[in-house]
């Protein structure tokens, strides 16, 4: 009976808001890193037939029309359409002038707030330096289709929670987590994550004041914890923040680079 009811329910919708600030690569990056690599990886993870969720992608480009034309994203979105793969997902673009991480983040939150989404929809607020496992949509759908009362989801299994790793943070020395299973993935409760996360539109609206505060990301989740919000991340990870010593453990992330790009990177010929 439960399977029949799940079949009759409308498909869940996920709205991805990808914040792209035109900037350099920055420090402490893996040798293979570029923002374009992360972007292509995201597109490839979405450009699959029969995705388990209805997904649309909105790229919020912080800059000017002139800087957009010079940026790599313009290669994949031209004349109002996606120029990547089989167009198996909706792709939208907005160019705006934020000028800083803080202002760009507020613009993103306000954009989500003004969209006419169902309270049962989900939004993925995503920064531009994450690499994804190609199967992340399937695993996310398994979690959202379960009875687990999750409020916030991070696809990033942060190494700061694992003793004896370079990324471990001493604040987690006594961390205890609840472990859940959804489909073929384990999920653990965590106290905080970076500012790339998935949340229902209903909880987003309820928590907007906290989300739009000028607190650091871990401080935001400290405040959300006071509202007893359940934040989960997968084991093993479904995405990684692309920083040296902060890559999610136990995964060879090279496998999620496009083969031609991976070989070019090994030869030291990436931009």
Three-state secondary structure readout of the chain: CHHHHHHHCCCCEEEEEEEEECCCCCCCCCCCCCHHHHHHHHHHHHCCCCCCCEEEEEEEEECCHHHHHHCHHHHCEECCEECCCCCCCEEEEEEECCCCHHHHHHHHHHHHHHCCCCCCCEEEEECCCEEECCCHHHHHHHHHCCCCCCCEECCECCHHHCCCCCCCCHHHCCCCCCEEEECCEEEEECCCCCCCEEEEHHHHHHHHHHHCCCCCHHHHHHHHHHCCCCEEEEECCCEEECCCCCCCCCCCHHHHCCHHHHHHHHCCCCC
Q: Is the predicted pLDDT of residue 79 greater than 90, yes or no?
A: no
Please tell me the predicted confidence (pLDDT) of residue 59. 96
The answer to whether residue 169 is domain-embedded is yes
Mean pLDDT of 234-247: 95
Per the domain annotation, does 96 fall within a domain? yes
pLDDT at 135: 96
Look at residue 271 and tell me if it is in a domain: no
Question: Residue 221: which CATH number?
Answer: 3.90.550.10
Q: Does 244 fall in a domain? A: yes
Asked whether residue 74 is domain-assigned, the answer is yes
Residue 199, domain member (yes or no):
yes
Does 79 or 17 have the greater pLDDT score? 17
Quick check: is 221 in a domain? yes
Q: What is the pLDDT of residues 136-192, one digit of tens each?
A: 999 999 999 999 999 999 999 998 888 777 766 666 667 789 999 999 999 999 998
* Total domains present in the chain: 1
Average pLDDT on 120-131 reads 96
pLDDT the model gives residue 11: 83
Range of the domain at 20: 2-266
Between 267 and 185, the more confident residue is: 185
Has residue 220 been placed in a domain? Answer: yes
Q: Is the pLDDT of residue 85 over 90?
A: no
């Amino acid at each position: 009976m439960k399977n029949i009811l799940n079949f009759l329910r409308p498909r869940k919708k996920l709205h991805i808001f990808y914040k792209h600030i035109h900037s350099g690569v920055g420090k402490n990056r893996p040798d293979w890193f570029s923002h374009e690599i992360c972007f292509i990886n995201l597109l490839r993870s979405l450009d699959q037939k029969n995705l388990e969720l209805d997904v649309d992608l909105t790229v919020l480009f912080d800059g000017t029309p002139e800087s957009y034309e010079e940026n790599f994203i313009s290669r994949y979105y031209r004349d109002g359409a996606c120029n990547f793969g089989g167009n198996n997902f909706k792709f939208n673009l907005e160019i705006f002038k934020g000028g800083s991480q803080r202002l760009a983040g507020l613009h993103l939150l306000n954009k989500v707030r003004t969209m006419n989404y169902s309270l049962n929809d989900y939004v993925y607020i995503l920064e531009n330096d994450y690499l994804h496992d190609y199967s992340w949509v399937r695993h996310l759908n398994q979690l959202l289709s379960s009875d687990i009362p999750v409020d916030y989801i991070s696809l990033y299994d942060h190494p700061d929670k694992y003793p004896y790793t370079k990324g471990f943070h001493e604040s987690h020395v006594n961390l205890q987590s609840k472990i859940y299973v959804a489909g073929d993935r384990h999920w653990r409760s965590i106290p905080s994550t970076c500012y790339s996360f998935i949340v229902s539109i209903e909880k987003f609206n309820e928590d907007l004041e906290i989300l739009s505060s000028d607190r650091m990301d871990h401080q935001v989740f400290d405040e959300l914890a006071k509202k007893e919000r359940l934040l989960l991340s997968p084991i093993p990870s479904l995405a990684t923040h692309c920083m040296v010593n902060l890559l999610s453990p136990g995964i060879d992330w090279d496998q999620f680079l496009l083969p031609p790009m991976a070989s070019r990177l090994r030869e030291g010929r990436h931009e």
